[in-house]
Amino acid sequence: MPDTNLAPPVAGHGAARLVSVTVDAYNAELRDKEGFIGDRASKRAFGAILEEWRERLRKNGGDPLGDVPTADLNKKRFDRLLADEAPEVAALMHGVVEEFARELAAVTRRFLRLKGWKDTQRIVVGGGMSGSRVGHLAIGRASLLLRGEGLDLGMRPIRHAADEAALLGAVHLAPSWIFAGHDSVLAVDISGTNVRLGIVELQQEKKADLSASRVIGLERWRHKDDGPTREQAVARIVEMLRGLLRRAEEEKRRLAPFIGIGCPGVIAEDGSIERGGQNLPGNWESSRFHLPSALQEAIPEIGGHGSVVLMHNDAVLQGLSEIPWMRDVERWGVLTIGTGLGNARFTNVASG
């Protein structure tokens, strides 16, 4: 009898069974009476903790950061403040990191109680903050807090840059045969703030497990600043993809006829967004909107072959980028610190 547990030749949108892993759970939206629990460990939450401390200090002797608004501070500035020679400035940032780390540890504990997260052995943390010194300290401190409670998760920052992780993860949506005779693939990462696109050079001749893959021609559009309509956003994505196609042709790259997309929310099998797309421009959850079809219609073929467009959750794709380095555990997860707290849990598929 055929093995009905085998993954299909090409996984569907939002698929639970991929070539190397099973996606046990993703986009969990934990709530309590105060709202989404994951919001306590978001970029916004870090800023809120810092602002709360600054307000207290203004009332009691002065704010060591002066008049600069908290909203104008970014992760690079946070890192500079952390290393500031003025003891009070650096101490303030260390205090904020500690408080944020405790929130991150508390949120992680809640995820570990979920059925889909049972027996998780390792967690990687992605998103923008994971690429900063402040983020690394917060993740490391949260890991120590959990270990102190007997939860040895090996919690660590994701290894790839925030702009590239989901793009690199996109190649793990498809089986290796789809890349036969090709050296690169197009990938798209959509978040509530940015759209990132790039050509992922597979470099399979160096590493068959795709661990040597790298992003070429990264393009980034901060759509939140422009406030486009849904249709304008899709048109801009198509324009950027066509630009990458032209670049690939000029560089004589052998693009696979595949486009991998990461997008916020719960991705249905038919490629629609069931929920979780509220931070995207316009209504992406409408039954009349289907991003994969829109991109496939705009780019019907690549290199003379009919294009295949697959979409999954953006946190899932960030997690997939870690697959080559997760072979020593069976069950592992990813948390992404961004507009909210993205999340996904995986079980490795046994090889052979």
Contact 24, 339 (CB under 8 A): no
240: its two tokens: 């950027």
Neighbour tally for 53: CB within 10 Å = 19
pLDDT per position as a tens digit, 108-149: 999 999 999 999 999 999 988 888 999 999 999 999 999 999
Contact 259, 297 (CB under 8 A): no
Q: Which amino acid is at 40?
A: R
Contact 236, 222 (CB under 8 A): no
43 confidence band (pLDDT: 50, 70, 90): confident
The radius of gyration of the chain's CA atoms, rounded to the nearest angstrom, is 21
- Compute the mean pLDDT over every residue in the chain, rounded to the nearest whole number: 91
Instruction: Return the pLDDT at 35.
Output: 67
Lowest mean pLDDT among 104-108, 176-180, 268-272, 322-326: 176-180
pLDDT per position as a tens digit, 70-102: 999 998 999 999 999 899 999 999 999 999 999
pLDDT per position as a tens digit, 248-298: 999 999 999 999 999 999 999 999 999 988 889 999 999 899 999 999 999
Q: Please say if the pLDDT value at position 175 is more than 70.
A: yes
| Delimiting residues of CATH 3.30.420.40 domain(s) in the chain | 163-314
Per DSSP, helices labelled H in 252-334 are: 291-298, 314-320
Lowest mean pLDDT among 6-20, 176-190, 197-211: 6-20
Distance CA 142, CA 148 (A): 10
Percent residues over pLDDT 90 in the chain: 78
Distance CA 97, CA 113 (A): 25
Instruction: Return the pLDDT at 290.
Output: 94
pTM: 0.91
Domain 163-314: homologous superfamily in CATH:
ATPase, nucleotide binding domain (3.30.420.40)
pLDDT per position as a tens digit, 209-221: 999 999 999 999 9
pLDDT per position as a tens digit, 6-16: 444 567 899 99
26: its two tokens: 């993703």
Q: Which of 56, 137, 145, 133 is nearest to 107 (CA)?
A: 145
Distance CA 124, CA 331 (A): 12
Instruction: Return the pLDDT at 3.
Output: 40
Instruction: Return the pLDDT at 350.
Output: 77
Instruction: Return the pLDDT at 10.
Output: 61
Instruction: Return the pLDDT at 324.
Output: 96
Helix, coil or strand: residue 131: helix
